[in-house]
Structure 1
Amino acid sequence: MGTPPTPAAPDPSVPSIPGNPDELPRRLGVFDAVVIGLGSMLGAGIFAALAPAASAAGSGLLPGLLVAAVVAFCNATSSARLAARYPRSGGTYVYGRERLGDFWGYLAGWAFVVGKTASCAAMALTLGSYLWPAQAHTVAVAAVVALTAVNYTGVRKSAWATRLIVAAVLAVLAAVVTACLSSATADASRLDVAADATPTGILQAAGLLFFAFAGYARIATLGEEVRDPGRTIPRAVPLALTLALVAYGAVAVAVLSVLGPERLAHASAPLAEAVRASEVPALVPVVRVGAALAAAGSLLALILGVSRTTLAMARDRHLPHALATIHPRFAVPHRAELAVGAVVAVLATTADLRGAIGFSSFGVLVYYAIANASAWTLPPGEGRPPRPVPVLGATGCLALACALPLTSVLPGITVLAVGAAAYATRKAITTRRH
């Protein structure tokens, strides 16, 4: 795995050429980038990942959250340094290709597109389950269609929509934490790590919770649309991650103190169940609306990120080249967005929420393992992170991926193998032609 010669990076201070149909204009500042990252993280984790993580770790949920946070911090640091060096759409697909070789970039892109497409379906189903449980699949498909249309009209409108959603979700989460911690039913002893918290369970919970922290990838995959990416991305990524960690920690402590790990593990709507147990039933409808908004914000940002990686892979013909087209008016990869939306809509009709979380976590952990390996190859003059960061990040990603349930690991390995076989076939055909 040699390091290929590194091409000169584009000047991050120079915006895309106006009117160039092959480039995306740089419109996003630090605040917009942070909001897009938060929109993805809050929707994915708070309302979807706590219950399966509690089922895996029991009273070890909070240590699992800490382990996931450490791995996420390493990944965020490596990703931010790489995104500043290569401010183009595609995220680790681009970094792996430039630092490790074409195959590793392709594998990262494949893992991301497949894993995050499953995430999109999971978020759509979360929205449907909270808004109209009896018609969850129908609502999920409608949400995918509507949010794909929002993304189609331009990234600035997507950022504004996500900004409103994040503000509303943070208000709801603050109300949940306040209601739980001030309730007479709250019991601090439920936060103690008991004998049922095994190292394996904690690692498995961390792997599932990592699904919740992966939203900062949206910032990196939007590198081509961020103003002054050399400064914006390294500032936006850790800021978004820190804000998400604070929210996750506060909500996890509040919900655990009211429900305890066993009751949380079996809750289909943990936050709604927590405020009901806190004897504030009037807050339950508010929490359901907040959950739907959070899932919508996450879905909006996920479709945005997946379509940009699809764009980058299509440019290199690893995916159909027709998907690389930029809309002349809205300046978005409209065909990629429509393709992603169509696939997610189909998946949303049959997907299982908890299974999608594990499958997505496996793919994204592989994606970040490659990101950390790429960051390791950066020379000091190109913003290389401290050496322990990519080492701990890559090791942590692989450990968490292996600790996931077999029902997530085996399909994940199969999908990666299919992607690798497709790459090898395409390369062999190309070689014969030349």
Structure 2
Amino acid sequence: MKPDKIPALARTLTLPEVTITGIGVILGAGIYALIGEAASMAGNALWFSFMLSSLIALFTGLSYMELSSMFPLAGAEYEYTKHSIGPTTGFVIGMLVVFSGILGSSTVALGFGGYLNGLINFPIILSAIFLIASSSLLIFIGIKQSAKVAIICTIIEAGGIVGIILLGLPYIGDVDYLAMPLGFAGIFQASALLFFAFQGFEEIVKLSEETIEPEKNIPKSLIFAVLITIVLYVAVSISIVSIGGWQEIAGSSNPFAKVAGIAFPGGYTLFSAIALFATANTVLLMLLSGSRIIYGMAKKGNLPKKFAEVHEIHKTPTFAIITAGIASIIFLGFGNISDVAYLANFTLFVTFAVINSSVIILRFKYPDYKRPFKIKWSLFKIPVIPAIGLMTCIFFLIQLEFDIILKGGALLTILIITGLTTGKKRTQKT
């Protein structure tokens, strides 16, 4: 088993540059959309839920690092899983990554609808459909146009998070930060929901080829990026409950705007506008990523060739973009933002459980294979950190409600059957 020989990219990124990029990747609009739902479960102890949910990012991120150092030019999750377990599982995990992006865009689009509804009383579902359709159109028009919009929105999004932290400073100490309306069960349920806010941390390892001393700098940047994001999320959660208490935002579809309205006149309108930019940005980026993964899988023969077709003028994968957009709109049918987010997290928990398992399996399957980055600390030859990462994923998976597990299980079953069927067809063709 030898890695493909492909010309190397220029290594120019330093540790600070990769860390900042990583923070930008992780810091999304999930916190704008879901912190109200999480508050109804965790109460003022939202900060604790954020810290718990970050554990998956920390442990699984290192597993991604070892796997990416083994297969640096390969197809990420699909390739890792194909080598460790088999091509059918690789196909299933690759498709789960696609669905995580599609479901993620549905979740945040509902968040966009919640803020717009609070601002002009426009139906949430219609707002979400409009956002997904317009984002898909922008992605179709071109990557340069999409990138320009994303940069502007990212600056506004980050400004909103810093703004809420600053607004909450005068209120610090006004509430009990250990108040948990549902006890630790609520903390765990909120953690399973809030993990959505950490989605994207795994993208950091894909900068390995362009980073100076990646064996040292990528793991460090991943840990730094996650830790800095945790600090920001914890600070936001403490500030937001300090201003009005968890009851003020519990179940709210526009939590940032609500507390900003309490903090100063005009705050509701201003932060509603900021949240619209933030949520629109995340939907755009998730649809962009999802469509490109579909395109990439089709190009490698794992999906029908139709998905790899590129528009002659715009040079974008038309059918892949349309498919991602339509699928995202279909999942809006769940209606409840927390249900869509939980289903998105189901796909992520299963994916990351397999990723952590792959590190363990490959240690036994290919013990002598070159690993430029190798996770330290093993017990009976089993790497400890991936094992903890696997257990963490399973723990959060069982925190999901039964109907979410049932729906996620149905999706998983369909993908397994599809993987087995397409696998047989490929075998017959060859």
State the TM bucket, normalised to the shorter chain: 0.7 to 0.9
The CA deviation at 1:357 is 0.7
The answer to whether the aligner puts 1:191 opposite 2:177 as a matched pair is: yes
The CA deviation at 1:358 is 0.7
1:298 to 282, 289, 311: 282
Deviations 1:218-237 (A, max 9, x none): 556x669x746984865764
2:395 to 368, 392, 399: 399
The CA deviation at 1:419 is 0.9
- Counterparts of residues 126-141 of structure 1 (less than 5 Å): 126-132=111-117, 133-141=121-129
- Number of aligned positions between the proteins: 413
- Normalising to structure 2: TM-score of the pair? 0.83
Which residue does the alignment assign to 1:173? 161
Tell me the amino acid that sits aligned with residue 290 of structure 2.
V
The answer to whether the aligner puts 1:107 opposite 2:92 as a matched pair is: yes
Aligned counterparts of 2:290 and 2:14: Cα–Cα separation in 1: 20
Q: 1:366 to 1:57 in 2, by over 3 A?
A: same
Contact 1:74 1:390 in 2 (8 A): yes
Aligned counterparts of 2:13 and 2:141: Cα–Cα separation in 1: 15
Which residue does the alignment assign to 2:52? 67
Which residue does the alignment assign to 2:343? 359
The CA deviation at 1:315 is 3.0
The CA deviation at 1:117 is 1.1
The answer to whether the aligner puts 1:408 opposite 2:428 as a matched pair is: no
The answer to whether the aligner puts 1:384 opposite 2:380 as a matched pair is: no
The CA deviation at 1:84 is 4.7
Deviations 1:357-404 (A, max 9, x none): 111111111111122222332656332223332112111111101111
The answer to whether the aligner puts 1:369 opposite 2:353 as a matched pair is: yes
Contact 2:180 2:187 in 1 (8 A): no
Tell me the amino acid that sits aligned with residue 265 of structure 2.
P
Tell me the amino acid that sits aligned with residue 382 of structure 1.
P
Aligned counterparts of 1:417 and 1:165: Cα–Cα separation in 2: 37
Q: Which moved more, 1:37-46 or 1:200-209?
A: 37-46
Contact 1:211 1:357 in 2 (8 A): yes
Deviations 1:276-300 (A, max 9, x none): 333x132211111111111112112
Aligned counterparts of 2:180 and 2:244: Cα–Cα separation in 1: 15
The CA deviation at 1:203 is 2.1
Which residue does the alignment assign to 1:246? 231
- Counterparts of residues 147-226 of structure 1 (less than 5 Å): 147-183=135-171, 186-194=172-180, 196-198=182-184, 200-219=185-204
The CA deviation at 1:78 is 2.1
Tell me the amino acid that sits aligned with residue 413 of structure 2.
A
Contact 1:127 1:291 in 2 (8 A): yes
Aligned counterparts of 2:340 and 2:7: Cα–Cα separation in 1: 36
SS of structure 1 residue aligned to 2:67: helix
Contact 1:40 1:302 in 2 (8 A): no
Contact 1:365 1:397 in 2 (8 A): yes
The unaligned stretches of length 5 or more in structure 2 are: 364-368, 377-382
The CA deviation at 1:34 is 6.7
Aligned counterparts of 2:403 and 2:24: Cα–Cα separation in 1: 28
Q: 1:347 to 1:409 in 2, by over 3 A?
A: closer
Q: 1:365 to 1:149 in 2, by over 3 A?
A: same
The CA deviation at 1:9 is 4.3
Tell me the amino acid that sits aligned with residue 292 of structure 2.
R
Contact 1:187 1:257 in 2 (8 A): yes
Aligned counterparts of 2:174 and 2:384: Cα–Cα separation in 1: 35
Which residue does the alignment assign to 1:96? 81
Tell me the amino acid that sits aligned with residue 63 of structure 1.
F
Aligned counterparts of 1:428 and 1:58: Cα–Cα separation in 2: 51
Which residue does the alignment assign to 1:22? none
Aligned counterparts of 1:262 and 1:277: Cα–Cα separation in 2: 13
The CA deviation at 1:243 is 3.8
Aligned counterparts of 1:34 and 1:145: Cα–Cα separation in 2: 32
The answer to whether the aligner puts 1:7 opposite 2:2 as a matched pair is: yes
Contact 1:304 1:337 in 2 (8 A): yes
The answer to whether the aligner puts 1:56 opposite 2:41 as a matched pair is: yes
Which residue does the alignment assign to 1:19? none
Identity percentage of aligned residues: 23
Tell me the amino acid that sits aligned with residue 420 of structure 2.
A
The answer to whether the aligner puts 1:337 opposite 2:325 as a matched pair is: no
Aligned counterparts of 2:325 and 2:333: Cα–Cα separation in 1: 13
- Normalising to structure 1: TM-score of the pair? 0.83
The answer to whether the aligner puts 1:313 opposite 2:308 as a matched pair is: no
Aligned counterparts of 1:400 and 1:75: Cα–Cα separation in 2: 13
Q: 1:98 to 1:28 in 2, by over 3 A?
A: farther
Contact 1:36 1:163 in 2 (8 A): no
